[in-house]
Homo-oligomer: A and B are copies of this chain.
Amino acid sequence: MGELIAAMGIIRNVFDKYAGEEGDKETLTKKELSKLLREQIGEELSSKEVDEFFDNLNEDGDSVISYQEYITFVAMLMSVLG
């Protein structure tokens, strides 16, 4: 197995780790996303900023971030970081 598949596995594991903390283990609540951003990206966001971030990611408008929405976020982040 190449590094690429291993890296994709890590990205999946990060999602699972935070998604598993409360509520549905297949989705990120706002609290879980906030913790993920703080611990993984080092972004300490205000409550208002987390709200905005959450709404941007939450493409289908439900109250949680799905794995698909998380992938979109990771791709966006990779694109910005170059």
Contacts and interface: CB of A to CB of B under 8 A. Distances in A.
B8 A77 contact: yes
**Max chain B CB contacts within 10 Å: which of A11, A72, A78?**
A78
Contacts of A6: 10
B39 A2 contact: yes
Identical chains bound together, number? 2
Interface string A52-82: 0000000000000001100110110111011
A45 to B, nearest CB: 15
A25 interface: no
Contacts of A67: 82
A40 B67 CA distance: 23
B14 A10 contact: no
